[in-house]
Amino acid sequence: MSVLMSPKISIHIVAWNSMLFLPDLLDSISKQTYTDFAVLVIDNGSSDKVAEFLSEKYPHVRCLRNVRNLGFTSAHNQGIRYAIEHWDKGELQNKFIFVMNPDVVLTPTCLEELMRATHGKDAYGSFGGKLLRAYGDGIVDEVLKSSIHSDRIDSTGLQLQKNLTSLKRGAGEMDEGQYDISEDVFGISRSLVLYRAQALQTIRFQDEFFDQDFVTFKEDEDLAWRMQYASLPAWYEARAVAYHFRGAYVEEKWGWMARLQHRQTKSKMYRYYCIRNHWLVLLKNIDFVSFLLSFPQVCYTESFRFLGALLFGGADRFAIFSVMGLIPRMYKKRQWIQKTKQITGFAIRKRFAK
């Protein structure tokens, strides 16, 4: 090939000691009916010999190696810059970045269906499919691997709520055809999302596509807001199916107490970034009118979230102080969003909030 990234799609996987899942993912990529792509693995300082595995089994897969774990956002920004720098600027409208978690397995037609969905949707910035859950019990057993794919939904896009939080649409529900209609959604989960390269370039802030201050978690919600402000809609394609390995899940209909109790089963890092980054999303993206219209719901939800952080202490409480320290940086980014936006936050809320 004449340039480093001449294929239409650059598939990006950030790996950090992900060898339990990576072989299955790469095997599913190799079986795709759509083949005009290149694969890039960004290794975040793994100690499980991922580079040696790629060199031996998948020598055509490019690997960027970091000496330490830079986090999800920084590593993916590396990969996105790497791809865009090797495409001509005039090509970006018809080039795509496919961001995937390493613990995902694609059905053979997943990429083909996503690419078919892009036809006639030049204004759209992101595309996602029906992500179902696969459970990890017995995952190392070859016999069990094919039996743990489920009909329980992981995500069919991001759903904006009236309290201005975002949830994975359909998460925890059994797939009974209720999401078989392809349609516009607020955003796409970072576990499996196809971004138009030109759209990423449009919402780019300095060297950031994903906000690097987020490090990990909720960065897909932040990017969904920025895509919407830039009038770059998101499309859910029901025929594009993949599986995401999960442990215990949170039902979207759970109340605040059940969510708080479930949160305590998560790692301190998970709780810290989820709380912190949720508030960063609000600080950075919510316009004043939308905040006023949603004030009762926002006040109710965030009061319990704040009290929960104080009550449980530790990482949860530290998240509060971290947000306070990041306010100046968020304000600067907020100013850029409000200055460059194409539509109002009120219009986004009116269309998507449920």
> Following DSSP, what letter does each residue of 228-276 receive, concatenated?
HHTT--EEEEEEEEEEEEESS---TT--HHHHHHHHTTS-HHHHHHHHH
Q: In the predicted model, what is the mean pLDDT of residues 217-238?
A: 98
Cα 150 from Cα 144, distance rounded (Å) = 12
Q: In the predicted model, what is the mean pLDDT of residues 213-218?
A: 97
The pTM score is: 0.91
Q: How deeply is 222 buried, as exposed, middle or buried, from its count of CB atoms within 10 A (0-12, 13-18, 19+)?
A: buried
Can you give the pLDDT at residue 265?
A: 45
Taking a C-beta distance cutoff of 8 angstroms, is the pair 315, 196 a contact? no
Q: Confidence class of residue 312 from pLDDT cuts 50, 70 and 90?
A: confident
Q: Confidence class of residue 266 from pLDDT cuts 50, 70 and 90?
A: low
User: What sign does the dihedral 298-300-303-309 (CA atoms) show?
Assistant: negative
On the question of pLDDT at 119 being above 60, the answer is: yes
Q: Confidence class of residue 308 from pLDDT cuts 50, 70 and 90?
A: confident
With the CA atoms of 18, 23, 237 and 10 taken in that order, what torsion angle do they form, in degrees rounded to the nearest 10?
Answer: 80
Q: In the predicted model, what is the mean pLDDT of residues 292-297?
A: 94
Structural tokens at position 151: 């009909």
Structural tokens at position 344: 């109002």
Other beta carbons within 10 angstroms of residue 275's beta carbon come to 26
- Pick the closest to residue 125 from 195, 224, 184, 219 (CA basis): 195
Cα 237 from Cα 124, distance rounded (Å) = 12
Other beta carbons within 10 angstroms of residue 314's beta carbon come to 11
Can you give the pLDDT at residue 104?
A: 96
For 107-174, the DSSP string reads -TTHHHHHHHHHTT-TT--EEEEEEEEEE-TTTT-HHHHTT-EEEEEEESSEEE-TTS-EEETTTT-B
Q: What are the C-alpha distances in Å from 328 to residues 215, 292, 331?
A: 17, 22, 5
Can you give the pLDDT at residue 6?
A: 77
Percent with pLDDT over 70 in the chain: 89
Q: In the predicted model, what is the mean pLDDT of residues 83-88?
A: 95
Cα 49 from Cα 333, distance rounded (Å) = 38
On the question of pLDDT at 42 being above 70, the answer is: yes
Can you give the pLDDT at residue 136?
A: 64
On the question of pLDDT at 310 being above 70, the answer is: yes
